[in-house]
Structure 1
Amino acid sequence: MTETIANERTETAEATYERLAGRFRPVFERIAQGALDRELNRILPFEQVAWLNAAGFGKLRVPVEHGGDGVSFEHFFRLLIELAAADSSVAHLYRSHFAFVETVGLEGEAFARRWYPRIVAGEIFGNAATEKAGNALGTTNTKLVRDGGRWLLNGEKYYTTGSIFAEWIAVMASTDGIEGRQYAVVNTKQAGVEIVDDWDGFGQQLTGTGTTYFRDAAVEPADVIERKPSSTHEPAFFQLVLLAVLAGIGNAALADAKILVRNRKRTFNTGTGELFRNDPLILQLVGQLSAKVFAAESVVLTAARELDAAADKSLPLDDVQRYVRGEAAVEKAQIVVPELVLEATGQLFDVTGASATSKGKALDRHWRNARTVATHNPTVFKARTIGDYEVNGTTPEGLHSIGDAPSKS
């Protein structure tokens, strides 16, 4: 027993990660095996989500004292990249779940005792924040109204990624008698909730993104959370999940590029006449693609380490410094990671011939998925924010609201 404890104390960070990843890689491999078929036939990954939940994937960030794994941000995002390489939609659909896990950790002990056990038991959470149109920026048309000792929720949300797989949804709403916006945690199994898989985007088609309708959905008072523009790590975490998904997509494109080049028999008279696997120009292209994917993943993990540093209570940082350290790192990552991955997924088609464009191979899904993820938070706004921070010291503001711009008279 003493020797085991000593070994755990001396285990390197890499060995710790490999032990963690070893638990999930067999599941990731099973998920990857059916990814192409699900893409071609629009099969939502309910079964694959169940495998992950059974393996305890959803409790990675739950503190150990509450029955979770308590993994670092770096190890969590590294593992998410591996899952995204297997199936980017499956990794993406967990975004709202893990964001809610972070919220639980910020809401106090009573809230933690209420929700951590459900997370540890394998229940997962979706998100319903965005409305298609009609809500002014910083407001929501979805409403909570009192009904005796509980609340009733009414409204319509779009981009409710992951909710169709979830037991619970965190819904952004306005509440009678309460200023600002709130989160209502709503059970998806009740009659007042309807989730529709009507996402028509050309990428990330299997994330369960679509419309959710709330019609007098019941909400317990303890499940209404006061939300304000965040000065915590929540916005940065929410966005870094997307960047990890992008890095995973890049790895998936690289894996396909290697298979294509290794197996290709045909060549062109304008080339060297060698097999592609021996052609120096083709190998150069694969090397460039690999370097871009490596750079993207490295940036994501560096930002994750900055989140770990911001959460490290032993460092002499005040709350604002902690927030800025994580938020600025993720915003910088947002400026460069999408470009690297979009270049890599496009370059995939330069390492082979026209046969790669076959619909049956669906190699275009990597670019389509990357392009779709990259649209979630425009990089031009992040570049401006970081420039303002570097030059003027202006505190970066995380993304916490989408709505109609105010009209000018």
Structure 2
Amino acid sequence: MQNPNILLGKLTVKNLIEICKNYKIEDYSGLRKKAIIDLIIETLTEDELNIILEENKLIDKKEISKERKVKNTNKDNIADDEDLLNILKETTLFKQLMNEAQKQNEADLKTLFEKNKVSDKEKKIEIVLSGQYKEALDLLLEADASELHPILVGPPGIGKTTLCRYYAQMRSDLTGNHSFEWITFDESTKPAHLIGSFNPSITIQKGFNFESFNPGPLLKTMLKGGVFLANEINRATEYTQNSLLEPLEERTFAVPHLGRIKASSGFFFIGSMNPSELVGTHRLGEALKDRFNVWIELDYPEKQTEMKIIEQNNPHYKIDESILEKIYLIINRTRNHHQIQIPASLRSGIAMARLSGLLKLKYPHQNPNQILRKVAKNVLIGAINPKPGVKVNDIATNIISQIIGTA
């Protein structure tokens, strides 16, 4: 809307005096036109000014309506934000976070570090053991009992690492040996990250001995007879891959300056890798490939299993079964879409479920499908990788419309 000063300036002095009389504005006598306008604007409310402008046909009624709508929307947004904060404060998750925050504010970093340090005996890992995951767990157990080296192969985000951690925990409950180490490989991973390295300052003082040596995760599990997980092993360079040949074949490892060590009884090496066609992966060398005796293929889980996993990973914000199924259908649709190179993983489904559950608390009267339509797009934009020349927004919108509809 234009400046009220300009709009009222289009009226005559007689009109302005009439307005003053109608709204019982005094002290206008003897004032010039501009001063009368200033007096009217200072005295009247915004709504009263709008009525005057509308009656004198200085402003369109639609413009006033639009302006009011914008202001009401802004008020609603502020109210929504306040409502959301109040809702969050009442959830179990945020009550827990607020209690933790109060304790952490009173603690120093060293205390917090000790408090949050992950122990050898982790908190019980909860997983869905059905379908391919139960079969994979059985194969890990059989490979371990046969002193063979298994490797899990499958796309990102299907739970390979979680399954291995679960197996290591289950094994530690049986044997009492809690030694479990794992490292996620990439191009920067060097053999020293696996075997360990010497501390320069201590080495200068005391020479090359065990006191100046910092053992790496692979060496630790070999000495303790524990479980070592080489996560995403095909992202490592051939140089690093070759350093694994000796421990896999001979169950020994040569430590420079200290000698060659052999693995204790119970040492179990597990590998995991992504499909070779993914960006950032290297070809697994034939020599290393030959050392893995049990190949466990994992794919995206079947419908009921995936829905159980999504539900299990959304403990704080419950959603309806129908919305859970639609989340699965959206995620699954990305996996057989002809314009998508890399589809959405299980993590995307979990993200949709958590956001949908939270927004259901914020907007209890809103259609759950409308909520899902909004959050699904926000998740899919970063979760899928389309083929060249295809816009990710277009694919996401198309898939969501197919599953939920456009209404």
TM-score for both structures, normalised by structure 1: 0.28
Q: Which protein shows a greater Rg?
A: 2
* Structure-2-length-normalised TM-score: 0.28
Higher relative contact order (CA 8 A, sep 6+): 1
